[in-house]
Amino acid sequence: MDPSEALRIATRSIRAHRLRSGLTVVGMVIGIASVVAFATFGASVQAAVIGDIGETNANNVFVTPASVEDDSPGGEELAATRPVFTEIDVERLREAPGVDAVIPQGLVGLSSVTYGNQTVAQRQATATVPATFTPADTVAGRGFESGASEAVLNEAAARSFERNVTVGSTLQLTLASGDTRNVTVVGIVSGTRGGFLSGFGDEQPRIYLPVDPFYSTVVESPSVGADVRVYPQLTVVAEPDAVPAVKDRTEAYLTGGSDAAQLLAEGVEIRVQTSEDVVGAIQDVISQITRFVTGIAVISLVVAAIGIANITLVSVTERTKEIGIMKAVGATNRDTMQLFLTESVLLGTLGAVLGVPVGLAVALGATRFADVGFTPAVDWIGFAVVVGIGVGIVAGLYPAWRASKVDPIDALRYK
């Protein structure tokens, strides 16, 4: 049979049962659209997160303590807050070749922050150094000066009060110890390069204070025998062409004779990561989540395939007499099989063609809601279309084979 003739007959059959065929196609559209939507939304979130980290922290080497075996809830976060990096470590890393700056971070316990007549709860502030802030990060004002009673806020913290905090405002900090300190806000930032967590943006209110005079956590340095400040996190800023070498030197020093290596608690190790390592880890996590969710959506395709097989089997039964007439006038088993296979492939292709734009539209709406850029998952779109057509072929094979085996004599007697 001429393929165009098979296509014409299959199209006529689908039109003759528009409601039934339409419902079958809707099942395919839902399956294809779900796959495209979940895959595209995952790709968009991945591109947005990786873009932010890659642009702002390209030369950074992040150093934190990490739990080796502690699988208890919050164990990893607890390990990352243990101060082990002394001022001695900071100074020695700063003198290493290829290092532009070493930025320590510590936590200052707070209970509340007062601005004007309004007081808001705030558990902690971040103590760091002026090198944390760059002109690219700063929305207004400047970074603080070491030794001054000054503070820098991110935009979320500045909006925490009914009357927005601006450069020049005075905040009253109530420390965890109960003491109060007045600080002058000298800058508003949208993000900093001072640490791994701050690289994710500023959705949470953050207050940054100078190490001197606000950070007072000290420990006796094993190497010099004197009390010095100690921090839970360091960021080593490398020269652009020296990131891998700086990472290796940092790891070698900190796991060798450093103060940090001697202050580590049992079950805790030092983790040294570059932005590339962090990006790779995030890519893996988001890809796994995307594959998992998309895998669930594939179940819709399986259901749609069953629907196509069902409607094609019903069509074979309803057209048994027609099959007998076709065979009586010379149609071969192959012609009969081709006819019903064409019908099922048409349903699958129609579902794939309609499902892709529907899925993209849903993904576009989701990215607008999540405020991330739209990045179509081209590979998954191609995969969904191929799977849609493949579903039409697989689902139609058995009904088409069954139609080809119909005996023409029995078919002509069929009522």
Q: Closest Cα partner for 232 from 191, 197, 275, 187? A: 197
Asked if the model's pLDDT at residue 233 lies above 80, the reply is yes
**Are 289 and 373 part of one and the same domain?**
yes
Last residue of a domain, one of 210, 236, 264: 264
**Are 337 and 375 part of one and the same domain?**
yes
Asked if the model's pLDDT at residue 230 lies above 90, the reply is yes
Q: How many domains does the chain have?
A: 2
pLDDT band at 197 (very low <50, low <70, confident <90, very high): very low
DSSP bridge pairs for 125: 108
**Are 225 and 310 part of one and the same domain?**
no
* Mean of pLDDT values over 37-61: 76
- What are the φ/ψ torsions at residue 167 (nearest 5 degrees)? -60, 130
In a domain, 247, yes or no: yes
pLDDT band at 195 (very low <50, low <70, confident <90, very high): very low
pLDDT top residue among 81 and 64: 64
Check: CB of residue 278 under 8 Å from CB of residue 53. yes
As a whole-number percent, the residues of the chain with pLDDT over 70 amount to 90
As a whole-number percent, the residues of the chain with pLDDT over 90 amount to 21
In a domain, 138, yes or no: yes
pLDDT per position as a tens digit, 274-324: 877 877 777 788 888 878 877 777 777 788 778 878 877 777 777 777 777
Residues 331, 333, 336, 342: is their CA dihedral positive or negative?
negative
- What are the φ/ψ torsions at residue 165 (nearest 5 degrees)? -75, 135
Asked if the model's pLDDT at residue 8 lies above 60, the reply is yes
In a domain, 60, yes or no: no
In a domain, 57, yes or no: no
Strands (E), 275-370: none
Residue 296: exposure state from Cβ atoms within 10 A (0-12, 13-18, ≥19): exposed
In a domain, 71, yes or no: no
In a domain, 76, yes or no: no
Asked if the model's pLDDT at residue 196 lies above 50, the reply is no
In a domain, 72, yes or no: no
Predicted pLDDT of residue 347: 85
pLDDT per position as a tens digit, 164-179: 889 999 999 999 888 8
Check: CB of residue 91 under 8 Å from CB of residue 226. no
pLDDT top residue among 12 and 407: 12
pLDDT top residue among 229 and 284: 229
Q: Closest Cα partner for 197 from 92, 81, 85? A: 81
Predicted pLDDT of residue 333: 80
Check: CB of residue 277 under 8 Å from CB of residue 248. no
- What are the φ/ψ torsions at residue 66 (nearest 5 degrees)? -140, 145
pLDDT band at 397 (very low <50, low <70, confident <90, very high): confident
Distance in angstroms (rounded) separating the CA atoms of residues 15 and 336 = 19
Domain around 349: 3-51+281-413
Residues 6+ apart with CB under 8 A from 173: 110, 113, 125, 151, 180, 181, 182, 183, 207
Predicted pLDDT of residue 296: 77
pLDDT per position as a tens digit, 329-370: 777 888 888 888 888 888 888 888 898 899 899 999 988 888
Predicted pLDDT of residue 201: 55
Predicted pLDDT of residue 65: 86
pTM: 0.61
Check: CB of residue 194 under 8 Å from CB of residue 146. no
Last residue of a domain, one of 229, 264, 299: 264
Distance in angstroms (rounded) separating the CA atoms of residues 246 and 324 = 79
In a domain, 322, yes or no: yes
User: What's the one-letter identity of residue 134?
Assistant: T
Q: How far is CA 351 from CA 46, 203, 307, 343, 376, in A?
A: 28, 40, 12, 13, 19
Predicted pLDDT of residue 277: 80
pLDDT per position as a tens digit, 363-392: 999 888 887 888 888 888 888 788 878 877
Check: CB of residue 167 under 8 Å from CB of residue 140. yes
**Are 23 and 97 part of one and the same domain?**
no
Asked if the model's pLDDT at residue 185 lies above 80, the reply is yes
**Are 32 and 96 part of one and the same domain?**
no
Instruction: Give the H or E element holding residue 244.
Output: helix 243-254
Asked if the model's pLDDT at residue 251 lies above 70, the reply is yes
Last residue of a domain, one of 264, 292, 319: 264
Predicted pLDDT of residue 240: 78
Longest dimension (CA), the chain: 104
Q: Worst-scoring range by mean pLDDT, 27-36, 68-77, 140-149? A: 68-77
**Are 191 and 335 part of one and the same domain?**
no
**Are 334 and 205 part of one and the same domain?**
no
Distance in angstroms (rounded) separating the CA atoms of residues 294 and 317 = 35
Predicted pLDDT of residue 231: 93
